[in-house]
Amino acid sequence: MTLATVPCYDPESVRDTGCRAVVVGSSVAGLLAARVLADRFAAVTIIDRDQLADEPEPRPGVPQSSQPHGLLEGGRATIEDLFPGYCDALIDAGGVAVDTGSDVEFYDDDIELAQSGVERSMYCATRPLLELIMRRRFAAIEGVEFRGGCTFLDYRHDDHRGVVEGVRIRNESGKTTTLEANLVVDATGRTSRTPNWLAEHGYQKPPLDEVRVDLQYGTVQIERPPATGGQCSSRRPIPTAEGR
Ligand SMILES: Cc1cc2nc3c(=O)[nH]c(=O)nc-3n(C[C@H](O)[C@H](O)[C@H](O)COP(=O)(O)OP(=O)(O)OC[C@H]3O[C@@H](n4cnc5c(N)ncnc54)[C@H](O)[C@@H]3O)c2cc1C
């Protein structure tokens, strides 16, 4: 896949479908979906069961939060399309730009692999920081509301018309309410209940593609000795394909 195959966002491609959309899950998928919906819906409400602080704090809904995350090129281009200036804001807030061709060392069975010599630049940050910079960008977009500490319980469904009309949610104090919506986006990731919900309500379960990866992931935090050098530049210019 090359960057040329990643389509640019075209706001005209989103049709008007109603006044309020609800996005369940305020992770990266939910935030990007909400950004697109905000171009056509008067009100977009994003709910998440975690609190959404104005600080880059780890949160239970994303257990890998505090791990450094790398923005691959397709994701970077898409995020930058939707939130122009995103990567500069990320760097200003403490993210780093690394050259994975020289700043990162790869080992296989204790043997250091040769550096490729090919520059591959990548923005890196913790997940909370990647998300926070996106959430802050919504401040400039009208009609978008965040509700943290809000758990999705079920869809509100009109059995006769076969239409989802909103969601039932529980707030932090345990109160259950309904949020009406013309469109609901499920961005709850791997814990999504929607496939089973569809089957239970007589709809077809979407087909599932599963790729089994026989790979374990282990990380450890270390304190870098003061004089190791090799600092990655937080201002490394990132070359981009086709000006994106
Ligand atoms: C250790 C590790 C390192 C990784 N590193 C990278 C990396 O470097 N780069 C990269 O691109 N990817 C990386 N990934 C993968 C990446 O984290 C996942 O692909 C991504 O999190 C999936 O995003 P998502 O928005 O679909 O779902 P999730 O991130 O799982 O988000 C789901 C959201 O829904 C919320 N939610 C769930 N249920 C409910 C409910 N009932 N009510 C309300 N809210 C709910 C959760 O709180 C959460 O905010 C890594 C993964 C791991 C485990």
Please give the biggest Cα pair distance in the chain: 69
CA neighbours closer than 13 Å in the CB half-sphere of residue 82: 22
For 139-173, write each residue's pLDDT tens digit. 889 999 999 999 999 999 999 999 999 999 999 99
Is the pLDDT at 8 greater than 90? The verdict is no
Nearest CA to ligand 1 atom 28: 189
Establish how many alpha carbons lie within 13 A of residue 167's alpha carbon, considering only the half-sphere containing its beta carbon: 24
Is 87 a residue whose pLDDT tops 80? yes
Nearest CA residue ID for atom 32, ligand 1: 188
Q: Is 31 helix (H, G, I), strand (E, B) or coil?
A: helix
| 233 Cβ contact list (under 8 Å, min separation 6) | 96, 97
* Residue 229: predicted pLDDT: 52
Mutate to test the pocket of ligand 1, among 49, 78, 184 (most ligand atoms within 8 A of CB): 49
Could you say which of 3.40.50.1820, 3.30.2130.30, 3.50.50.60, 3.40.50.720 is the CATH number of the domain covering 3-243? 3.50.50.60
pLDDT at residue number 238: 55
* Ligand 1-lining residues (CB < 6 angstroms): 24-30, 47-50, 61-62, 64, 67, 69-70, 151-152, 187-191, 217
d(CA 225, CA 60) in angstroms, rounded, equals: 30
Say if CB 138 and CB 35 are below 8 A apart: yes
Atom of ligand 1 nearest to the CA of 61: 47
Residue 66 in this model has a pLDDT that exceeds 90 = no
Total residues belonging to the chain = 244
- The predicted pLDDT at position 240 comes to 54
Ligand 1: residue of 69, 98, 104 to mutate (most ligand atoms within 8 A of CB) is 69
Among 26, 41, 32, which residue's Cα sits nearest to residue 142? Answer: 41
Does the structure show a pLDDT above 60 at 214? Answer: yes
Cα 170 to middle of ligand 1, angstroms? 21
Structure tokens at 168: 């039932």
Domain boundary assignment for the chain: 3-243
Surface-to-core class of residue 37, CB atoms within 10 Å of its CB (0-12 exposed, 13-18 middle, 19+ buried):
buried
